[in-house]
Structure 1
Amino acid sequence: MRNHALQIFSAAVRAVQPQYLLPRHIRREKDQLWLGGQVFTQADINKLFVIGAGKASAAMARETEIVLGNRIDAGVIVTKYEHAYKLKTIQCIEAGHPVPDENSLLAGREITRLLKQAGEKDVVLALISGGASALMVDCPPGILLPELQTVFNRLLQCGATIEEMNTVRKHLSAGIKGGQLMRTASPATVISFILSDVIGDPLDSIASGPTVADGSTFTNAWDILRKYQLIEKLPVSIIRWLQLGLNHQVPETPKPGDPIFEKGHNYLIGSNRIALEAAAEVAKSLHYTPTILTDALQGEARDKARELVAQVRQYAGPRPACLLLGGETTVTINNPGKGGRNQEFALAALMALQEAFPGAENMPVLLSAGTDGTDGPTNAAGAVVDKGVIQLAAQRALSPEKFLEQNDSWNFFHQAGGHIITGPTHTNVMDIIVVLIP
């Protein structure tokens, strides 16, 4: 059953690969280009530029080069370290994630420099995926990179949702996030292809919405920092900038209705739902009855794991069954262990499964993993829990409770044998959870 769970997860990841998604949205025939819902003749376009940011952007750029070839005049994309591809025309920068680094600033500058060259008859293709909020940054006046890094770290540790984090990030950018790239690209036409890593697929939040009108405000950002009691813990320069925004002394992010968005077209090309539906098809081929429970799972990882196991225990449908969930939980980090939200979810689920199915031969198998191939600052995508993992943990006298208390799920599964290691997947549509019930 463990192999089946891995097959089902792999199918989910495969379904949202740029190589399958992008050719449905980009086409070149003779003197015509189909870009999303827009059709151009060669004469309609002067220059074609490509920009991009995110864990999938290099793979997206590679597919764009395959389809459009020498029609691309120039491009700059930024992706996570070890996620790059060799590209022909498009410059590929690797940068820090989940915390920005000097290369993230370089990427922001290079993309801005390219966009400033775009004129009225030019077209910009923007290839956007999750991870872009850290990979492509700018520092507002008076803020240094280490101070921006402090904010990113604090947000990652406090249990904030990705939408909350991105609301703050958008208001700590003076020229990129929250639709601000459109100011730079104007008056060119900008066509964005977007892979969603946010629950509900809100385009203004994915990757901090660099090409999308922003519905959030400085007040929203301030309220989020107050909610997580971060205001006293942030550098003075950050607080000063946000207060300038609150007092309308620096511009808000551009809002719906702003003329800069008139020549912008945004297309959602990949989502968690697409991945779940592909997983369900493979589960069916393996003779499980699949049920997609949700593509909007969120909340504290350990709490949601216990709730899921309670549902599994009460399951009364046809067997063997495959329950599928997608979304993105959060972890409030209280101790200095090593792990990520999927490994923490799996570890909490292991404890709940032991209670719900004591000594059971027919214990369900549970897998929780990130479609991007990384879970927190670790080399694992996530973890799988079955009776083999539980037996090995018992043999090695590993206490799941102690590891969970220390936020140290990686070290538990490293010793108990449950890790899922995929390497970079070059896509990112949040997490997939697979439960197989015999």
Structure 2
Amino acid sequence: MEFRYSAKTEALRQRVADFMAEHIYPNEQALFHTAHTQANQWKPLELLQEIKQKAKAAGLWNLFLPESEHGAGLTNVEYAPLAEIMGRSPFGPEAFNCSAPDTGNMEVLTRYGTPEQKEAWLKPLLAGEIRSAFAMTEPRVASSDAKNIETSIRREGDEYVIDGHKWWTSGAPDPRCRILIVMGQSDPENPDPYKRQSMILVPFPHPGVTMKRALPVFGDVDAPHGHAEMIFDKVRVPAANMLLGEGRGFEIAQGRLGPGRIHHCMRSIGVAERALERMVRRLESRTAFGKPVIEQSVWRERIAESRIMIDQARLLTLKAAHMMDTVGNKEARAEIAMIKVVAPNVACKVVDWAIQAFGGGGVADTWLSSAYAHQRTLRLADGPDEVHRDQLARLEHRRYRNTDPARTGGYPNVLIADGLSEPGQA
């Protein structure tokens, strides 16, 4: 794989970095302040809306779409460094219309939507006129195993009727949210558990959908975006709202979650880079016990370890992106699982050290506290660490089960009292 970015990517990197420096970082504190103090906490941030129009006018819009005439035509490898820069601020991704869950939902509609579905929902999402949400996780079951999802989607004539209880439906509290992608069981008796689930489009607001509450993350409801607990009570939608076909939910989920996970990881690396930079600048500005704090060995070790971890995470992310581009998401599932574990954990650790470097000011710092809350949440979102590690272990087990140990020295030999065991006897 090529480690240098293409000329196209380098040019876009500079443009995105310049835009962030001119419009995002100088306005970040004002955006945080408005989000936490405006009378209607769910009101979209007017300043961010103005910034979005500037990004759109500059052609820095929908950069995430790899195979669409509506995007920049970038591969995952080309998009990765751009998402890293956007991820340095919680307001960055939305400014470029590259924020979750809209990115994943737009990819679903681009890949699997009918012409009518694209006209109704993809077109305004691409234009940034509306926002969307993805309803998958449920409070009554362990949704880390999506086969557990209980929400029912049953056919009645020319309609589907949806009943269920969802939570962590990110983006639903946003007043701009106009469409939900809902996953549920359409064929609960199918002998193949991976063909029991479907995904369907539900216009929002809808008389049968109740938003029970906005869920807090470390005590903050993350307004004006938010994460909702939702009740679906006899929700009727046209049969034409089914995505791809009944029983295709897992197929769509794999197509959606692969890019979604890697985008999160790209942004996590941007968070970690900014946290490291802020840590270093803070440490060099403080003196304790007669010398600059940055010259104390514990902090030198933490700075070095941060650099090692960030670069490892970036290289692993680029490898996963390269495989997604060249052999497809399915063949890259091990690499995607690895980065989904690594990147948020690295970001969590570096942000935690940055908080420690700032002392009492660290827990009061708006960006640091926001970054930590988001990165800690990412260890659960799109599958918890434990599920990804379990998948990796099973893939690794399968790999060695299908390999001849005589060719690799892989026999589990052990020393015994009177010599070595014979191959394969241990």
Q: Do these two structures clear the TM 0.5 threshold for a shared fold by scoring above it?
A: no
Structure with the largest fraction of strand: 1
For the pair shown, the structure with the greater C-alpha radius of gyration is 2
Structure-1-length-normalised TM-score = 0.25
- Higher helix residue share: 2
